Structure 1
């Protein structure tokens, strides 16, 4: 039996109205708890919040954080907890292709999530042997997901011993504890396909040749389950969750930053926070803390002891660009791969240097929702992985503007000339992530190394505080929108003791205990 917060838990304060906090709130509300959410910004979303870029031609509505949305059934679960339906609050568009992958040799592969369409794409671009390998890869990723999603990703763990059982044996037999890169290479001899089905491990902070095979589940989410985009931008995800929470009785206080916890006898009794009249306090029976780990440790007053310090994921530079003219030739998501591969990971993870031959994610949200930019304009998001501040000694105040120009030059060399068409730009660097409270200047938190995975990841419980629980990407199960939404449910379950009920998207009724 997993740990449940003892004693009274009628009123729960959730710190942070990001996706983790909002997921927590909805699952708590569904279990009959009174919920108050404190959010330091003037809007919901956290990393998935909002960034408005204003120019003489109008306003561009950019997404400052994640741009890839997968596993919308997890949103269904959160809405269903309070009796709502996701499609009545959020208009999601399934992207086809999910990505367009462009390579240094000039070739292009459209990544489609439909099995037959992708098999034909692979057969046409890489040959029949590669198509057969893709079908084996798809079957393997699907089996990984089926074994992992409930038992390993979607459950609270109080001890590594709790994982021992038939599912652990199945995961081991599938190669979940072997290395991802070599496993993918055995099934897909074409290096381009190897990249498409393994680059996602960088989201978990580990290069493919070092990542556990279990992290192939991220590739399942991207390349099989499907990639979606909400009309109105990614900010609509958080806003729709917040609206549902308020409709179900939650109080959300914006512009209120938590500053500390009051405690008595090992329990948190109130959360101190900023307010219109200075410092205020909010009594509670339990608290859920969702900011990044350094902020959580400041609130608690200490960091937990670990035999080895946490290792942080690589960071990212993000260039937001408003363009004056349409770019219909660009897909919604384009992955522009450089010729280098292993060297790229070595540079940003081991050497603490910028990529000499960068691989980039270029997102054009206006391909799906033109209303995100002024009429006749285009909005782009360019993400370049880079070292975090703990591992790279880069002076971003000095290097940032030059790196912006370098990224624009790289894009131009790859057939995406933007410089003469720029209306407005905004550059986000690791220094900006650090200023927002993210450890080591990375929005991807703790890396998913073997020693920081599953029950070895920072727990969602706080030693010495029996009614404090964590949620968010710094705790279990980890980084990315699907894990963060799950972390909210897991935090709620620590308080309510409720069993997980999976909801189907079609019927929206419980399908299991």
Structure 2
């Protein structure tokens, strides 16, 4: 594994999102002095928090999987996630509602899900689910250590027996077709393939290897941190400070001072100069390239994932049909992905993610009130409407989205809203996200693994990248790994599995949690 050259005693980490905080904790655990500089007033990055009246709103991801990766970062400094955050295991992980009026609860426990599939679609589909679950577990084991949790220096690193194992599992076929080998019910196939959208690719075109995301969502477990998702980066920042990191808030980086192929100091917009031995840039990839003064040459321009419109609504009521996470599928499927990734049209028959964090933490809202987070995927600004267009389009789309929610059974949603915040590609672009998408560079084959933008910077001996735009990619688990991989580039220490407990990672995480029954339904 290639590493940065020269001294690495003092490392400046630019950005206090999940990847930056993960990197900082792993660096601290390896004995480095760390300064974290963050342009915002506190930690979080994409996993931020806004106060909306008396409501506390998470502005980023709402689904937490693979919490052992967070605990691994805490363990680097002799701490644990459980000391800071209480996790609640979600049962069900999701509720799926379909356009034909049917629905099922998606359980990550195998027996519970087999029984639910049997009730929903019959014994043949239940048997198919069991085979699918076994395939997902084997696919995960074949990929995680060799292709996800690893630093690539060359595509030739793919030439390993694990590549043959992945091929034998059908990992280089198409996701939709591979899922269809196990499940014939079109509704069930959606439950196990919609995750391809996280990677920015339609299920019909995504590699079957991306089903590893389905493994995380439907097998490994889904969790909710009390205090909301923002509680995680806040706890990580506290652990970093306790381990000796210097945290600098409202510290916007203006330039990098360079000489003789190294960054010698980080300059802040305030005029302050912070000398350093190495730098880890976890900001948006385009922002990192601006600081570096150039972007690496690529034969094909980077493609970005679809974006999303998010409606945060504080309401005076909720609905019995909603679990903590509810997937509300429209009738269309292939056409939906074509609109999102090719034609650039808004979804004509949208599939939505509705999250109700107050189902498991009522403190996020005033007494008797509720929080609802409604995410509607939409084209990014390269493929679809421009950021400026969303200035007028946003309010109209908000009204159509609420009307659609009411048509799907959330009657009175419009009248229930006490506080709201609408986020569109215009807002994502204003935050610095390229193509108006918070989901960064998509995971096409040419932008995956060793073909994704590397985390080492050519021409500079002591600069490393981390975050969703680089290795290994988009999503909470992967950005946590990204921070660990960046730290390994600096320290030269053991790569994958450095703090990994000696146990099967397909098992549930060894993180003390509350396993309270689901309170997603009104009693």
State the TM-score, normalized to the length of structure 1: 0.96
**1:410 counterpart residue number:** 404
Please point out which of 231, 242, 255 is paired with 1:247. 242
- In the TM superposition, 1:71-150 aligns within 5 A as 71-150=66-145
**2:438 counterpart residue number:** 443
Distance 1:385 1:470 in 2: 27
**1:347 counterpart residue number:** 339
Secondary structure of the residue aligned to 1:100 is strand
**2:306 counterpart residue number:** 314
Distance 2:120 2:77 in 1: 47
CA offset digits 1:318-372 (Å, max 9, x no partner): 0000001344442100000000000000011100010000000000000010110
Secondary structure of the residue aligned to 1:46 is coil
Secondary structure of the residue aligned to 2:461 is strand
**1:511 counterpart residue number:** none
CA offset digits 1:23-52 (Å, max 9, x no partner): 000000000000000000011000001021
Secondary structure of the residue aligned to 2:55 is strand
- In the TM superposition, 1:43-442 aligns within 5 A as 43-54=42-53, 59-274=54-269, 278-394=270-386, 395-417=389-411, 418-442=413-437
Indicate whether 1:16 and 2:15 are aligned: yes
- In the TM superposition, 1:446-461 aligns within 5 A as 446-461=441-456
Secondary structure of the residue aligned to 1:109 is strand
In structure 2, list runs of 5 or more residues that go unmatched: 504-508, 513-523
In structure 1, list runs of 5 or more residues that go unmatched: 509-513
Offset of residue 165 of structure 1:
1.2
CA offset digits 1:232-272 (Å, max 9, x no partner): 00000000000000000001100001111001110110011
Distance 1:397 1:473 in 2: 27
Distance 1:213 1:386 in 2: 23
Distance 1:318 1:88 in 2: 32
Offset of residue 86 of structure 1:
1.2
State the TM-score, normalized to the length of structure 2: 0.94
Offset of residue 506 of structure 1:
4.0
Q: Which moved more, 1:32-41 or 1:498-507?
A: 498-507
Distance 1:49 1:393 in 2: 26
Distance 2:119 2:113 in 1: 10
Aligned residues: 500
Offset of residue 162 of structure 1:
1.1
Secondary structure of the residue aligned to 1:476 is coil
Offset of residue 413 of structure 1:
0.3
- Root-mean-square deviation over aligned CA pairs: 1.1
- Alpha-carbon contact 2:196-2:202 (below 8 Å) kept: yes
CA offset digits 1:420-445 (Å, max 9, x no partner): 11101110001110110111000000
- Alpha-carbon contact 2:67-2:511 (below 8 Å) kept: no
- Alpha-carbon contact 1:98-1:112 (below 8 Å) kept: yes
Offset of residue 163 of structure 1:
1.6
- Alpha-carbon contact 1:327-1:378 (below 8 Å) kept: no
Offset of residue 213 of structure 1:
0.8
Distance 1:177 1:507 in 2: 33
- Alpha-carbon contact 2:68-2:510 (below 8 Å) kept: no
Offset of residue 393 of structure 1:
2.6
- Alpha-carbon contact 1:324-1:423 (below 8 Å) kept: yes
Distance 1:326 1:446 in 2: 35
Offset of residue 179 of structure 1:
0.6
Distance 2:245 2:143 in 1: 32
